[in-house]
Amino acid sequence: MSSRSLRAVARHLSRAEAEAICKRVLEFSTADECRVTINSGVRANTRFAVNQISTAGDNYNAAVSIRAVFGKKVANVTVNRLDEAALRDAVQNAERIAKLAPDDPELLPELGPQTYQDAVVWNDATASLEPDARADAVRQITERARAAGLVSTGYLEAQAQAFAIANSKGLFAYQRSTGVAFTTTVRTEDGQGSGWAGASDNDFTRIDPRQLAERAIEKARRSVNAAAIEPGRYTVVLEPTAAANLIQLIGGALNARNADEGRSFFSKAGGGNKIGEKVVDERVTLYSNPLDPRVPANTVNGDGSPVGATTWIENGVVKNLAYDRFWAQRTGKQQSSTGGTLAMNGGNETVESMIASTQRGLLVTRFWYIRGVDPRTILFTGLTRDGTFLIENGRVTRPVKNLRYNESPIFMLNNLLAMGRPERVSASESGGPGQAIMIPAMKVRDFNFTSTSDAI
């Protein structure tokens, strides 16, 4: 290999380029075992505020991580310079640090060659979303908002990434993925109304900017002159984004080791974990499946192990927890992970039918500033935002001021009244593509609101 960078003009490393870098790194390695992972690709974005684009840009990066192992000693080094000298330095640095590390008694040998299912997560339209096309998509929102006398703000981000992994035992995998998110918040000029709409997908052509504009504009108009209501326990109709904001929190608590060690909601009183116990309503099934075309993901994990479909909660009963390789071996279980996706089954209701069957309750568009309060119960706090409405006698009657909740998705799924059809949503607080998540709208009783907010 010459000292010239291996990176071509392409906006992510090709399989051949990635394989060549992996091969070179492994040749440099003198460690007992060596693993190389490469993340390359582009993040392109356009941001708008006050009905015009405020910033936009794209950046390309390719980072090579080298994991060197001597006996039970291990260290990781990551660099984003791909020339031969930099890669050689990085290998030497990883090996030097690894030799200084103490033995890791939990270290497992690298995996040999694996078989992976073909991922279905790449989309050409998303990968080729250039500045002009992004600006045109943004204009479909800004011009509608301006024509309506409203103020639009929002964000469009498209990612096209390639992941490669190789090790000294002959394992190699290469997969490409795309992701896109488009969100907008439309406010009235006097700041008295605010509405949000958003979508996330792997395929940009499945996102309709006009529909986003119309939803956010309608919410902004309807949310003007919000009235304060008393905090307390309410029946809520959660639009799919709001439901996903909370349900995705269960994903972070699924760790089997934490449960076995007594520091998780999934810990069992007296010892062990709650696998086999019913923890939520029996209509609830929660799963991850990287091959589901609605929420696809890569089928290879960061350590090179294959990712398959896993059901976490089935008919309300804990079916699986996430086991890394070590904990799976220690406990005699199968390795499992969410692989960056989470989906829930649903029902046949619509948001409209759930509203129609509600005597008194609240319709929630999305939640904000969601932070953990008590891991013993997966209790989180946060607020409603950008469209909260009172439901009376089966119809939405008026906007209400936002409310703070202290609630757990576990409590929520025990108070489940009805579910809609699952939808892919943009549930990342920051508006980026985030994890692929598909959750139904749901109606829940006794949702615990603890105070009101004047924020619009």
Partner 1 sequence: MSTSRRDFLRSSAAAAAAASLLTADRAQAAALEARQPLWSGDSDHRELAMRAIDAARAAGASYADCRISSARSQNIGTRERRVTNIGDNETFGFGVRVMVEGTWGFAASSELSADEVARVARQAVAQARANRRAMVKPLELAPIHHPPVPNGQWRSPARIDPFSVAIEDKVAYLMDANAAALAAGARFVNSQMFFLKDEKTFASTEGTVTQQTIFRAQPGMTVTMVSADNRDFQTRQSTDIQPKGLGYEHVLDSNMKAHAARWVEEARQKLSAKPVEVGRYDLILHPTHLWLTIHEAIAHPTELDRAYGFEANYAGTSFLAPPEQFLGKFRYGPDFMNVVADRSAPGSLSACGWDDEGVAPESFHIIKNGIFVDYQTTREQAMWLDWWYKSQNMPTRSHGCSYAQTWADVQFQRMPNVNLMPGERDLVWEDLIAATENGIAIVGDGSFSIDQQRYNAQFGGQLFYEVKNGKITGMLKDVAYQIRTPEFWNAMDMIGGQRSYELGGAFGDGKGQPSQSNAVSHGCPPTRHKQVNVINTGRQA
Give residues 129-148 in contact with partner 1 (rule: CB under 8 A): 130-132, 134-136, 138-139, 142, 146
- Let me know: does 447 contact 391? Beta carbons within 8 Å: no
Query: Should residue 232 be labelled a site residue for partner 1 when binding is judged by CB under 8 A?
Result: no
CB 297 within 8 A of CB 339: yes
Of the candidates 158, 232, 150, the one whose C-alpha atom is nearest the C-alpha of residue 191 is 150
CB of 359 to partner 1, least distance (A): 26
C-beta separation of 64 from 81 below 8 A: no
- When asked if residue 55 is in the footprint of partner 1 (CB under 8 A), the reply is yes
Written as six digits, the tokens of 88 are 């050689």
- Helix or strand run (H / E) with residue 409: helix 409-414
Name which of 359 and 371 has its Cβ closer to partner 1. 371
- Here the tokens at position 346 are 């649903």
Among residues 71, 109, 112, 191, the one that binds partner 1 under rule CB under 8 A: 191
277 binds partner 1 (CB under 8 A): no
Among 57, 109, 252, 293, binds partner 1 (CB under 8 A): 57
Could you give the angle at which helices 84-100 and 15-28 cross, rounded to 10 degrees?
Answer: 50
If binding is defined by CB under 8 A, does position 402 make contact with partner 1?
Answer: yes
**Residue 394 CA: distances (Å) to CA of 32, 227, 417, 443, 445:** 68, 19, 15, 13, 15
- Rounded to the nearest angstrom, the gap between the alpha carbon of residue 266 and the centroid of all alpha carbons in its chain is 21
Is 81 among the residues that bind partner 1 (CB under 8 A)? yes
H or E element at residue 411: helix 409-414
Q: Indicate whether 192 belongs to the interface with partner 1 (CB under 8 A).
A: no
Site residues for partner 1, 25-44, by CB under 8 A, read 43
- Decide whether 136 or 392 has the Cβ nearer to partner 1: 136
From residue 257, give the alpha-carbon distance in Å to each of 98, 274, 288, 379: 25, 12, 19, 20
Among 20, 101, 229, 317, binds partner 1 (CB under 8 A): 101
Of the candidates 151, 194, 145, 150, the residue with the CA atom closest to the CA atom of residue 454: 194
Pick 125 or 373: Cβ nearer partner 1: 373
In the region spanning residues 353 to 392, those forming contacts with partner 1, defined by CB under 8 A, are: 368-377, 379, 381-383, 385
User: Pick from 21, 34, 94, 390: which binds partner 1 (CB under 8 A)?
Assistant: 94
Q: Which of 329, 334, 348, 451 binds partner 1 (CB under 8 A)?
A: 451
Q: How far is the CB of 226 from partner 1 (least distance, A)?
A: 13
Closest CB to partner 1 among residues 109, 262: 262
50 counts as binding partner 1 under rule CB under 8 A: yes
The reply on whether position 153 binds partner 1 by CB under 8 A is yes
| Contact present, 298 and 175 (Cβ < 8 Å) | yes
Question: Per rule CB under 8 A, is residue 62 in the interface with partner 1?
Answer: yes
Nearest approach, Cβ of residue 313 and partner 1 (Å): 14
Q: Which residues are registered as beta bridge partners of 267?
A: 273
Q: Does 126 bind partner 1 (CB under 8 A)?
A: no
Is 376 within 8 Å of 395 (Cβ atoms)? no
Contact between 430 and partner 1 by CB under 8 A: the answer reads yes
Give the residue from 111, 351, 337 showing the smallest Cα distance to 215: 351
Candidates 20, 229, 291, 411; binder of partner 1 (CB under 8 A) is: 411
Tell me: does residue 406 bind partner 1 (CB under 8 A).
Answer: yes
Region from 181-189, 232-240, 315-323, 332-340 binding partner 1, contact rule CB under 8 A: 181-189
Regarding 338 and contact with partner 1 (CB under 8 A), the answer is: no
* DSSP string for 101-153: SPP-TT--PPP-----PPP----HHHHT--HHHHHHHHHHHHHHHHHTTEEEE
Q: Which long-range contacts (CB under 8 A, 24 or more apart) does 111-114 make?
A: 111/167, 111/169, 111/171, 111/303, 111/304, 111/305, 112/169, 112/170, 112/171, 113/169, 113/170, 113/171, 113/172, 114/171, 114/173, 114/300, 114/304, 114/305, 114/306
Task: Give the residue, chosen from 18, 22, 36, 75, that forms a contact with partner 1 under the rule CB under 8 A.
Answer: 75
CB of 66 to partner 1, least distance (A): 10
Contacting residue, 5, 14, 331, 353, with partner 1 by CB under 8 A: 5
For partner 1, give the closer residue by CB, 104 or 392. Answer: 104
Q: Which stretch binds partner 1 (CB under 8 A): 20-28, 100-108, 233-241, 337-345?
A: 100-108
Q: Which amino acid is present at 307?
A: V
